[in-house]
Amino acid sequence: MIYQMYQAQADIMDPLRMMARTTSRLMKTVTPQEPFGLAMRHVNAAFEVFGYSGTTHKRPAYGIKQVQVGNAMVDVTDEVVFETPFASLVHFKKDSDRKQPKVLLCAPMSGHFATLLRHTVEVLLQDHDVYITDWHNARDIPVEAGVFGFDEYVEHIMKFLEQLGPRCHVVGVCQPTVAVLAAVAVMAENNNPATPRSMTLMAGPIDTRRNPTRVNILAKTKDISWFEKKMIGVVPWRYRGAGRRVYPGFVQLSAFVSMNLDKHMSAHFKQYRSLAAQDADAADTHRAFYDEYLAVMDLPAEFYLETVQRIFMDHELPRGALKYRGKPVRPEMIKKTFLFTVEGERDDICGLGQTASALDLCTGIRPLLKRHHVQIGVGHYGVFSGKRWATEIYPRVREVIEFSV
């Protein structure tokens, strides 16, 4: 009943939030005389904070219109070049004849849309021809489309890499690092010509036995039946995916917010003060972040449960027990792909050493083709977004790709 309870609450609150947003817009058209002006700004601020505080289930636009390539600004359009019921391969096509290395950016399927990696894409676009795994919201996928578990996830990555063709590169961010490593291992063992030349794994749970975080510890304190009973819901009848069992995005969002509740409450109080003080720049920055953060997507239940069981509970990959379609995944078969791992010093989701363990698993790769970087002063999101990503981490990623071309 978890989804039905959420939907009932949303059905009550969404009209109220819409009224608050409408009232806020109307109040902005009025310029009262002082001392009533200050009071009205505070009332308007309260309406706006409340009006934009709810979750949405629609993917935001990437909104990347231009990017600098060399000394020129070039136009960018995002287009779907390959699609399945569960995901789209989106290409960020640039209005430029310059040939650049093709890079597949594997986004997490973890409750948020791939647009959360917008800044990652913007930075990569300067020197690369970028594609991204744009996962679909499970509540919009009909039951007839079938199941989507870990094997299907790995299969999608391989299909997408084949769309890019030979001499491409792959970057996995957070959760998909395990599936990326598995996909590349299977492709290497099968001598697939689309096996990527380089593989960058960033802040991912390759081996969560190393420096376990609160997220990792939670997975070990319950059995899988608890997760299935408490975390899985059924999509309501009104949506295309009616009847599909899912891990709701709002549950994942609640978990993330609870980990840093004081920070989020402080941010909303700050937004209230910014609106009351008519600080438009600060208010717009807050709105842009939370419009993205509060846009959630549901995950297929089988994928979520298999991820919890196989990656966080049983540690199948580092134990050598991971299988794809019933056959062992053998990271040691990767021999010609440059492996680069990146971690954040203050990461409270993937602890230090968890991603770096991939270097130990890939024994077939020569030391010359292995590299590791720990970024000082950043948490989980700082590894792939923000100033440190753009100025300190990305140059190393670019160097690895250039070396591997």
Looking at the fold, whether 35 and 159 belong to one and the same domain comes out as: no
Is 308 contained in some domain?
yes
Looking at the fold, whether 34 and 115 belong to one and the same domain comes out as: no
Looking at the fold, whether 334 and 317 belong to one and the same domain comes out as: yes
Looking at the fold, whether 142 and 272 belong to one and the same domain comes out as: no
Of 194-198, 284-288, 371-375, 397-401, give the lowest mean pLDDT range.
284-288
Residue 250: predicted pLDDT: 83
Is 251 contained in some domain?
no
Residue-wise pLDDT tens digits, 261-318: 788 788 888 887 887 888 888 888 887 787 787 888 999 999 999 999 999 999 999 9
Count how many domains the chain has: 2
Is 243 contained in some domain?
no
Looking at the fold, whether 376 and 400 belong to one and the same domain comes out as: yes
CA angle 21, 276, 60 (to 5 degrees): 40
Is 247 contained in some domain?
no
Looking at the fold, whether 174 and 279 belong to one and the same domain comes out as: no
Is 335 contained in some domain?
yes
What's the whole-model pTM score?
Answer: 0.89
Question: What is the domain extent for residue 382?
Answer: 66-217+299-404
Is 11 contained in some domain?
yes
Residue 292: predicted pLDDT: 81
From 258, 293, 328, give the residue that closes a domain. Answer: 293
Looking at the fold, whether 139 and 179 belong to one and the same domain comes out as: yes
Looking at the fold, whether 17 and 162 belong to one and the same domain comes out as: no
Residue 5: predicted pLDDT: 76
